[in-house]
Amino acid sequence: MRILTLISLSTAVIATPTLALEKNANRAAFQTNFKQADGNKDKKLTKSEFRKLIDADAADDLGKAPMIKRFDAYDTAFARVDANKDGNVTLKELAAMRGK
Protein backbone atom coordinates (compact mmCIF):
# COMPACT_ATOMS: atom_id res chain seq x y z
CA MET A 1 0.00 0.00 0.00
CA ARG A 2 2.82 2.42 0.85
CA ILE A 3 4.61 1.67 -2.40
CA LEU A 4 1.44 2.36 -4.38
CA THR A 5 0.94 5.65 -2.52
CA LEU A 6 4.55 6.68 -3.18
CA ILE A 7 4.22 5.82 -6.84
CA SER A 8 0.98 7.81 -7.09
CA LEU A 9 2.51 10.82 -5.35
CA SER A 10 5.66 10.75 -7.44
CA THR A 11 3.60 10.50 -10.61
CA ALA A 12 1.52 13.50 -9.54
CA VAL A 13 4.62 15.52 -8.72
CA ILE A 14 6.17 14.74 -12.10
CA ALA A 15 2.95 15.24 -14.07
CA THR A 16 1.97 18.59 -12.55
CA PRO A 17 4.89 20.63 -13.98
CA THR A 18 4.52 18.84 -17.30
CA LEU A 19 0.82 19.74 -17.48
CA ALA A 20 1.60 23.35 -16.56
CA LEU A 21 4.24 23.55 -19.30
CA GLU A 22 1.86 22.01 -21.81
CA LYS A 23 -0.89 24.45 -20.82
CA ASN A 24 1.49 27.41 -21.23
CA ALA A 25 2.69 26.10 -24.60
CA ASN A 26 -0.92 25.69 -25.75
CA ARG A 27 -1.76 29.22 -24.59
CA ALA A 28 1.26 30.62 -26.45
CA ALA A 29 0.35 28.69 -29.62
CA PHE A 30 -3.24 29.90 -29.40
CA GLN A 31 -2.18 33.53 -28.96
CA THR A 32 0.21 33.25 -31.91
CA ASN A 33 -2.55 31.74 -34.04
CA PHE A 34 -4.94 34.53 -33.00
CA LYS A 35 -2.45 37.22 -33.97
CA GLN A 36 -1.80 35.56 -37.33
CA ALA A 37 -5.52 35.13 -38.05
CA ASP A 38 -6.23 38.79 -37.18
CA GLY A 39 -5.41 40.13 -40.64
CA ASN A 40 -6.08 43.81 -39.92
CA LYS A 41 -4.59 43.67 -36.39
CA ASP A 42 -7.67 45.17 -34.72
CA LYS A 43 -7.58 42.51 -31.95
CA LYS A 44 -10.89 40.99 -32.98
CA LEU A 45 -11.79 38.35 -35.53
CA THR A 46 -14.38 38.45 -38.27
CA LYS A 47 -15.98 35.18 -39.37
CA SER A 48 -13.32 34.63 -42.04
CA GLU A 49 -10.51 35.43 -39.60
CA PHE A 50 -12.12 33.12 -37.03
CA ARG A 51 -12.06 30.33 -39.59
CA LYS A 52 -8.31 30.89 -40.05
CA LEU A 53 -7.87 30.71 -36.27
CA ILE A 54 -9.79 27.44 -36.06
CA ASP A 55 -7.79 25.94 -38.93
CA ALA A 56 -4.49 26.94 -37.28
CA ASP A 57 -5.62 25.67 -33.87
CA ALA A 58 -6.81 22.41 -35.44
CA ALA A 59 -3.38 21.96 -37.04
CA ASP A 60 -1.88 22.43 -33.58
CA ASP A 61 -4.54 20.14 -32.02
CA LEU A 62 -5.70 22.86 -29.63
CA GLY A 63 -8.97 22.68 -27.74
CA LYS A 64 -12.09 21.85 -29.72
CA ALA A 65 -10.71 23.28 -32.98
CA PRO A 66 -10.09 19.88 -34.60
CA MET A 67 -13.72 18.88 -33.97
CA ILE A 68 -15.04 22.23 -35.23
CA LYS A 69 -13.03 21.85 -38.42
CA ARG A 70 -13.91 18.17 -38.91
CA PHE A 71 -17.65 18.88 -38.68
CA ASP A 72 -17.43 22.20 -40.55
CA ALA A 73 -19.06 23.88 -37.55
CA TYR A 74 -17.31 27.24 -37.95
CA ASP A 75 -20.53 29.29 -38.02
CA THR A 76 -21.99 27.52 -34.99
CA ALA A 77 -18.77 27.97 -33.02
CA PHE A 78 -18.51 31.62 -34.04
CA ALA A 79 -22.09 32.32 -32.93
CA ARG A 80 -21.45 30.70 -29.55
CA VAL A 81 -18.22 32.60 -28.93
CA ASP A 82 -19.52 36.00 -30.11
CA ALA A 83 -21.16 36.77 -26.77
CA ASN A 84 -22.22 40.34 -27.55
CA LYS A 85 -23.36 39.43 -31.09
CA ASP A 86 -21.40 42.26 -32.73
CA GLY A 87 -20.12 40.05 -35.55
CA ASN A 88 -16.59 39.87 -34.12
CA VAL A 89 -14.80 37.60 -31.66
CA THR A 90 -12.26 38.97 -29.20
CA LEU A 91 -9.66 37.24 -27.06
CA LYS A 92 -11.82 38.07 -24.05
CA GLU A 93 -14.82 36.29 -25.58
CA LEU A 94 -12.69 33.29 -26.49
CA ALA A 95 -11.23 33.15 -22.97
CA ALA A 96 -14.72 33.34 -21.45
CA MET A 97 -15.84 30.46 -23.64
CA ARG A 98 -12.83 28.40 -22.56
CA GLY A 99 -13.74 29.06 -18.92
CA LYS A 100 -10.77 31.24 -18.08
Please, what are the domains in the chain?
29-97 (1.10.238.10)
Are 18 and 10 in contact by the 8 Å Cβ rule? The answer is: no
Give the DSSP per-residue string, 42-84: SSEE-HHHHHHHHHHHHHTT-TTHHHHHHTT-HHHHHHHH-TT
Confidence of residue 70 (pLDDT cuts 50, 70, 90): very high
Q: What is the pLDDT of residue 87?
A: 98
pLDDT at 24: 81
Q: Residue 55: CA atoms inside 13 Å, Cβ hemisphere, count?
A: 8
Average pLDDT over residues 12-25: 56
Question: What's residue 14's pLDDT?
Answer: 44
Q: What is the pLDDT of residue 11?
A: 46
Q: pTM surpassing 0.95?
A: no
Element (H, E) at 89: strand 89-90
